[in-house]
Amino acid sequence: MANSSSSRVSADMKNLQRNRINGLRQVVRVMAMKKKVFLTRTLHAFALEHLKKKYQVEVHSGKIPIPQTKLKDKIKEVDGLICFPYDKINKETIEFAENLKVISTYSVGFDHIDTEFSRRKKIRVGYTPEVLTEATANMAFSLLLDISRRVTEGDRIIRDGKWKEIYGAFDYVGVDLKDKTIGILGLGRIGEMLARRAKAFDMKITYHSRRRVSKTKEKILKATYVSFEELISQSDFISVHVPHTQETDKMFDMDVFRKMKSSAYLINTSRGKVIDEEDLIRALKKKTISGAGLDVFEIEPIKKNHPLIKLPNVVLAPHIGSSTEETRKKMAEIAVKNLDLGINGRKPVYSVGY
């Protein structure tokens, strides 16, 4: 009797063990069937949860940006990649891809991705325009207001205990915006949104891009099309909203700064490489131009001893154009949607090329 009950127990144990092993095998099989996704940096919990339901997800948690060797290793094995604007997704890296179907970048700029080579390898590229337009235009206008009224400079003066004089006729004077000319380089999504803000401040709006926008849009925005030469020589404020491409690389150099008004301010929220930073530093030091508001730099983050930090006539922001809670969530939603579509052989919601 005792024997038969103990053999029943051991049979039950064996069954239990077998079921467990089968269960584990099933999990392993499902995992093996699940496509692999790699993120070079973490995203919001809702985005990760969504991804984890469908894919085997790995998030890089070490050094930012991810070392290129690790990126190459991961690209070799995954089906989908979510990356950020500082990741170098160049030809040499993409060449490692064996199963990669989609590169989904958490940004509207895609100058960090070799999109031409991706297309040749039939890897789709998704990006996140539109949702960040207002936030970035607000950032550009914040920099413009700040530099024109010396807000950050005043903050520094107070914090450094250097506020000596009070309310003099010539103390810490800035400039008005009303009737000043703003030259918008690149009247695309963000440029247009900036024009609307400038219009509300009664500024004269001029713009330059390779193509003119429609007459209706020009009328609504009260924007006048000018040549690049006219834009740089006539503007009191220039705000840069072109993507970084071969054509726009170092578009602003000493030649351009010399043609600008010495009272003019330069605002850049596009990409650092559109400006020759060394020349800009020289122009600011020599007062060839009055000042600059910068959210982007040639190499980011800039170092503690970067020459721009020592200049009083610049306002610096750490590449936070799109950085509002609402916008960053929307960007995560789109980055995930783009990945979802691309990994399944479909065109991302916002797709570069195809």
* 224 residue type, one letter: T
319 is catalytic: yes
Select from 222, 311, 223, 313 the least CA-distant residue to 265.
313
User: Which residue, 83 or 100, is less far from ligand NAP as judged by CB?
Assistant: 83
Number of Cβ within a 10 Å radius of residue 267: 29
Active-site position among 112, 197, 244, 319: 319
User: Which residue, 53 or 210, is less far from ligand NAP as judged by CB?
Assistant: 210
Number of Cβ within a 10 Å radius of residue 60: 19
Active-site position among 60, 124, 208, 271: 271
User: Which residue, 123 or 131, is less far from ligand NAP as judged by CB?
Assistant: 131
Minimum distance of ligand NAP from residue 162's CB (angstroms): 31
Active-site position among 77, 300, 306, 333: 300
CA–CA–CA angle 28, 32, 33 (5° rounding): 120
Minimum distance of ligand NAP from residue 228's CB (angstroms): 7
User: Which residue, 93 or 107, is less far from ligand NAP as judged by CB?
Assistant: 107
The rounded Cα 132 to chain-centroid distance in angstroms is 9
321 vs 331: CA distance, rounded Å: 13
Question: Is the separation of the CB atoms in 148 and 125 below 8 Å?
Answer: no
28 vs 111: CA distance, rounded Å: 38
- In terms of DSSP H, where are the helices of 171-301? 189-200, 215-221, 228-234, 254-259, 277-285
User: Which residue, 129 or 154, is less far from ligand NAP as judged by CB?
Assistant: 129
330 vs 328: CA distance, rounded Å: 5
Minimum distance of ligand NAP from residue 112's CB (angstroms): 10
Minimum distance of ligand NAP from residue 161's CB (angstroms): 33
> Which residue has the closest beta carbon to ligand NAP?
188
Buried b (16+ CB within 10 A) or exposed e, 164-177: eeeeeeeeeeeeeb
User: Which residue, 101 or 270, is less far from ligand NAP as judged by CB?
Assistant: 270
65 preceded by cis ω (within 30°)?
yes
300 is catalytic: yes
Minimum distance of ligand NAP from residue 54's CB (angstroms): 28
298 is catalytic: no
Minimum distance of ligand NAP from residue 301's CB (angstroms): 13
**List of residues contacting ligand NAP (CB under 6 A):** 108-109, 129, 132-133, 136, 186-191, 209-211, 241-244, 247-248, 269-271, 295-296, 319, 321-322
Catalytic site positions = 271, 300, 319
